[in-house]
Structure 1
Amino acid sequence: MMQRVATERWVVREPHPAEETLQSELGIQRLLAAALVDRGITDPEGAGEFLNPSLDSMHDPRLLPNCEEAVRILMDAREKNQRVFVHGDYDVDGVTSTAIWARALRRLGFDVLPHVPHRIKHGFGVHEDAVFEAMQQGAKVLLTCDCGSSAIEAVKRAKQFGMRVVLTDHHEFGSEVPAADAIVNPHLPDNKYPFPHLSGAGVAFKVAQRVSEECGATAQQFQRAFLDLACVGTIADVVPLHGENRVIAHFGLKVLSRTKKVGLEALMRVAQIEPGAKATSYDVAWRLGPRLNAAGRVDDAAIALQLMLTEDPEEARALAQRLDELNEERRSEEMRILEQAEEAIQELNLADEPLIMVFAEGWHRGVVGIVASRICEKYNRPALLAAVDPETGLAHGSARSPETFNLHEALMLHRELFRSCGGHARAAGFSVTSDALEEVRSALVRHAGEVLRPEDLIPTRRAIAAVTPAEVVHRSFIELERLEPLGEANPKPLFFMPRVRLLEVQPTSNAEHVRFRVEAPKPVYGIGFRSAQLFEGVRPGDTVDLLFRAAINRYNGNEYPQLILEGLRPAVE
């Protein structure tokens, strides 16, 4: 666990009157009511919809901007037996989006050629080399997924080659919108789609559903066939897990648990997810996602795409094993870059800057994004890392940011300094000439200093409620599992327990982990993973404040509530 660099600020949300209403109307305990209110859900009807997701609550795909024009173009290509070149992206969202389109269209009798770019050779977005390949392969329709919103020149070239262009994407637009024949993107200006937070896989899923319906399939048939892929892309892309994304994740995990796609089955085996076992959002985010991403990060995303498309169990096993090996390579490279980035931060005295940007030769550009996330988390400020290629004179980088800083806006304000840039508010990518790196760093540090307040840079832990030891009961903790699937904008709740007396403090067989018990009407146990230093100088009998997440410990057929320690300090009066 990386240690935080500034004194933490603990903030505890005050009780809200709606919590009592939700408790009485829904018959739930206070902790779940507090978690719902913390998510902005204050009325019983909205709470019921959140706790009981329904596929019937999904919005009509035809509400997506230009969806029907996209369907018309694709149906015309099917009637004329024209080849459709599907262009995705090299991350999990892009790979699963491409797999949804390729599998769905092939099932419907389309002539399909799927493609995902090579991160190093092509970079993010629609590369003109891919457009040229599509032309050479005889494609008459260029269909993008999880990319295309910034592909101004590539779209122009495709049109020059006589292709019709359909963009399905979820990324935000720059100052110019591509001149495609149909752009299906919930971020398109002035569109009326009710939910703007779909992943690329989510957009592909909905538009492909409409194509399937036009070919005679029902929505239910399509959803049963493709919710597993849509779920993996949605969770792995860290989009907010509420609204339609929650529905996709909830039902997609059920389909994933019993998937018949041999590629997903093989991947789950190497990730040590038992066949038929209940899949969780944790499994996707921390087991499946990293392995799929590893191909695009340190090798070729085409490996991951082929795994999602293959019908051959033997090929699937070999590809899944290869992804597992690539993930180990990625971990090793990540630790090497992290160590060097930390050294640079210390040597250049960057830790106190409002924005941290470091770059170096010899870094793998497919891994710098993960390290940027870790730097951002540790220092609680925007972090940009770039890999410099001395042969080309270019640097390719990734950026991550806390919610207090909008990366997309910052990059767009300074886009004249970049060769290319784009992304979202909290995650972005860019390329820049190496001789402009210092200028970029100075400009972005200056901008961050103008936008961020000093208090924005202090790590803040936000607990949703103060809890007494008497409230640590099985029913309250088991109810919290109804919040699953957990993820972005729907995290595992953090609770505050003030002025509690420690009765036991014991190290585990691993000296970094500590078990403890607190004074309560019934025994209340907890565990702190990698938390030994928090207990330095702490003894049984001490009164402390705790931050914790609730868990149910299941062992030998027994269940009991357990505190998962997130923070400990001497009790504050």
Structure 2
Amino acid sequence: MEKWILRNPKNDFEKMSRELGVSPLLCRIMVNRGITGPDSARSFLNPDMGALFDPRSMRDLEKGAAIIIDKIRLGKKIRIIGDYDVDGVVSTFILYTALERCGAKVDYAIPHRILDGYGINNTIIDKAREDLVDTIITCDNGISAGDQVKYARDAGITVVVTDHHEVPFIENENHERIHILPQADAVIDIKRPDCSYPFKLLCGAGVAFKFIQVLYEELDIPEAEYQDFYEFVAIATVCDVVDLTGENRIFVKKGLSMIGNTGNAGLKALMKQTGIWGKEIGVYHLGFIIGPCINASGRLDWAEKGLKLLLTREAEAAEKLAFELHQLNTERKNMTLAGVEETVAAIENSSLKEDKILVVYRPDVHESIAGIIAGKIREKYNVPAFIITDAETGVKGSGRSIEEYNMFEGLLECKELLTRFGGHPMAAGLSLERENLDLLRKRLNESAALTEEDLIPKVYIDARILLSHITIKLAEELALLEPYGKGNAKPLFAEKEITVSRAALLGSGRNVLKLRLEAAPGRHIDCIYFGSAADFDEYIAGKYGAVELEKLYKGIAEGIKLDIIFNIDINEYNGNRSVQLVMQHYR
């Protein structure tokens, strides 16, 4: 059973409303997201490219740009080392396209997820040396590759790191953290403790974009040319699940305004293949349609296929690659569905379900989808979850966490059991010997300070609102808060004791529930629900009886009341627009 929590921020919403010219309700929602002052609120409501920070304040960025410009002028061979996820692919695309425009002798390499693992490695460095590469520039990786960077530099290769991940550290006897930077020729990472760049939540593509901004400025390439990358930074920002606040919000808003008319042949072909070309593109399309298709090549094939899609200029080649990526993503979805079902069965039929930290060994799971399955298991049980599978040496896996548990810190306490690990508070990857797996599970659970209260799912409500106050005008005003995503969730509203007078099942599979709610005497408002209609029916029948459930579907129910949590949307049908609720939770 989840716990419903109404946010109760302190602020003078009436004054804020007058200053901004928006409703007090909109002001309340912004304050719920930490946007309290009028200036920050205006910036949030009107994201402006002019509000982007000066990239030159990023530590080592000018130094790194100067190195690359020098190598371009000397005709030295430069190789970009990216990563196999969407952020890594897009970062590589941005750097490669920009460096080629600057006249560089440049190519790229993206590690194979299974054969190479994450980030730059000695094999990739050896290949670069064989190919007479002078300079390596990393993107979306490199900050934790101290040994590999030293290996490259010892081989005479210049190394520029661009990354956005946490800087590795050790703790001294006083438990003070000493951060360890790779000894590259330039290390550009917003998470460096000595980096004064004011916004610390950029994805890897955001850092790469900032780098090429300075590169273009130094080489007198028109500003309009680097603006072509906004739509790609938007894709990477959404898919890397960084907070859609500050600069990220600006990038995504601008990118969404451009992507519907993209001039990129590969992106256009992918949008046509997935059936979204010609539609208004939103965050959902980036995160759940475009991104997963690009990601699928890095999961089940080689991420270079996704990169080639973005780089191709030929429509026929783009269509072929888009088809292949779409097919790979369909295969990935089927594998994930089967993997989740098998993992749930394994948990339910074992003592694992008693654990506060789930460490589930599934040797047959394809390692590329371990993280996706971990996320689904975390959602189902509301506990941190690791999915571990067999690797070429030992076992490896991915974890996804809940807000109350810092997964990276948890692994840090067990680091002597691991051969490799890294990540964030909410997600992590790890490798270890098979014989240490049970001990890892035991240690993680013993060291976790999670309480029963921590493990109760919590739903945070932005405001309680009378249904009679919900209008099309309010729904239109809420659109000012878009785009929604991590750090700026779609607002949730709630009301108690709502009378439900009718229910119906919609959709080709009759799996969408539509309810008619009484908003005021003589006025109704429609509400749809995409959750389990069968569970809803069981709940109503259990509380009000089977006869009342039957009457509900006939539109003659009496006395059925619910508390509900919902979003407010606009339904457009045959040119008509009406306000509509989307139910997320009920009781």
Give the TM-score taking structure 2 as reference length.
Answer: 0.92
Alignment of 1:108-123 (within 5 A): 108-123=102-117
Corresponding position: 1:471 with 2:466? no
Distance, in Å, in 2 between the alignment partners of 1:500 and 1:25 is 34
Distance, in Å, in 2 between the alignment partners of 1:292 and 1:56 is 30
Q: 2:306 aligns with which of 301, 304, 307?
A: 304
Note the C-alpha offset of 1:36: 0.9
Is residue 512–residue 530 contact of structure 2 (8 Å, CA) maintained in 1? yes
1:254-288 Cα offsets, whole Å, 9 max, x none, are: 2212111111111111121124x432111100110
Q: Residue type of the partner of 2:413? A: L
Distance, in Å, in 1 between the alignment partners of 2:233 and 2:254 is 10
Corresponding position: 1:554 with 2:554? no
Corresponding position: 1:250 with 2:250? no
> What is aligned with 1:3?
none
Is residue 263–residue 316 contact of structure 1 (8 Å, CA) maintained in 2? yes
In structure 1, runs of 5+ residues without a counterpart are 1-6
In structure 2, runs of 5+ residues without a counterpart are 170-179, 549-556
Alignment of 1:449-528 (within 5 A): 450=449, 452-508=450-506, 510-521=509-520, 522-528=523-529
> What is aligned with 1:267?
270
> What is aligned with 2:223?
219
Note the C-alpha offset of 1:88: 0.5
Note the C-alpha offset of 1:556: 0.8
Distance, in Å, in 2 between the alignment partners of 1:503 and 1:21 is 39
SS in 2 for 1:520: strand
Corresponding position: 1:181 with 2:177? no
> What is aligned with 2:177?
none
SS in 1 for 2:368: coil
Q: Residue type of the partner of 1:251? A: K
Distance, in Å, in 1 between the alignment partners of 2:416 and 2:134 is 34
Q: 2:166 aligns with which of 172, 179, 199?
A: 172
Count of matched residue pairs: 557
> What is aligned with 1:4?
none
Q: 1:94 aligns with which of 77, 84, 88?
A: 88
1:152-211 Cα offsets, whole Å, 9 max, x none, are: 121011101211110000111222321111110010122211011000000001011111
Is residue 31–residue 480 contact of structure 1 (8 Å, CA) maintained in 2? no
Is residue 18–residue 42 contact of structure 1 (8 Å, CA) maintained in 2? no
| Stretch deviating more after TM superposition (436-445 or 286-295) | 436-445
**1:15/1:360 Cα in 2 relative to 1: closer, same or farther (>3 Å)?**
closer
Distance, in Å, in 1 between the alignment partners of 2:14 and 2:496 is 22
Note the C-alpha offset of 1:93: 0.2
SS in 2 for 1:506: strand
Q: 1:192 aligns with which of 190, 193, 196?
A: 196
SS in 2 for 1:216: coil
- Relative CO higher for 1 or 2, CA cutoff 8 Å, sep ≥ 6? 1
Is residue 99–residue 106 contact of structure 2 (8 Å, CA) maintained in 1? yes
> What is aligned with 2:582?
564
1:25-82 Cα offsets, whole Å, 9 max, x none, are: 2232343222211111122221111010001110100011110110111011011011
Note the C-alpha offset of 1:393: 4.1
Is residue 400–residue 427 contact of structure 1 (8 Å, CA) maintained in 2? yes
Q: Residue type of the partner of 1:71? A: A
Distance, in Å, in 2 between the alignment partners of 1:559 and 1:93 is 37
| Stretch deviating more after TM superposition (96-105 or 394-403) | 394-403
Identity among equivalent positions (%) equals 37
Distance, in Å, in 1 between the alignment partners of 2:32 and 2:90 is 32
> What is aligned with 1:359?
361
Note the C-alpha offset of 1:128: 1.3
Q: Residue type of the partner of 2:330? A: E
1:319-363 Cα offsets, whole Å, 9 max, x none, are: 110000000110111112112211221122222311111012221
Is residue 19–residue 42 contact of structure 1 (8 Å, CA) maintained in 2? no
Q: 1:236 aligns with which of 232, 239, 242?
A: 239
**1:535/1:478 Cα in 2 relative to 1: closer, same or farther (>3 Å)?**
farther
Is residue 136–residue 159 contact of structure 2 (8 Å, CA) maintained in 1? yes
> What is aligned with 1:385?
387
| Stretch deviating more after TM superposition (47-56 or 436-445) | 436-445
Is residue 495–residue 565 contact of structure 2 (8 Å, CA) maintained in 1? yes
Distance, in Å, in 2 between the alignment partners of 1:482 and 1:366 is 37
Corresponding position: 1:70 with 2:48? no
Q: Residue type of the partner of 1:408? A: F
Distance, in Å, in 2 between the alignment partners of 1:238 and 1:488 is 6
| Stretch deviating more after TM superposition (20-29 or 250-259) | 20-29
Q: Residue type of the partner of 1:245? A: N
Is residue 64–residue 192 contact of structure 1 (8 Å, CA) maintained in 2? yes
Distance, in Å, in 2 between the alignment partners of 1:105 and 1:263 is 20
Q: Over the residues paired in the alignment, what is the CA RMSD in angstroms?
A: 1.4
Distance, in Å, in 1 between the alignment partners of 2:275 and 2:15 is 42
Distance, in Å, in 2 between the alignment partners of 1:255 and 1:160 is 44
> What is aligned with 1:443?
443
Distance, in Å, in 2 between the alignment partners of 1:544 and 1:32 is 25
SS in 1 for 2:119: coil
Give the TM-score taking structure 1 as reference length.
Answer: 0.95
Is residue 268–residue 277 contact of structure 2 (8 Å, CA) maintained in 1? no
> What is aligned with 1:61?
55
SS in 1 for 2:12: helix
> What is aligned with 1:321?
323
Note the C-alpha offset of 1:415: 1.8
**1:523/1:247 Cα in 2 relative to 1: closer, same or farther (>3 Å)?**
same
> What is aligned with 1:210?
214
Q: Residue type of the partner of 1:440? A: L
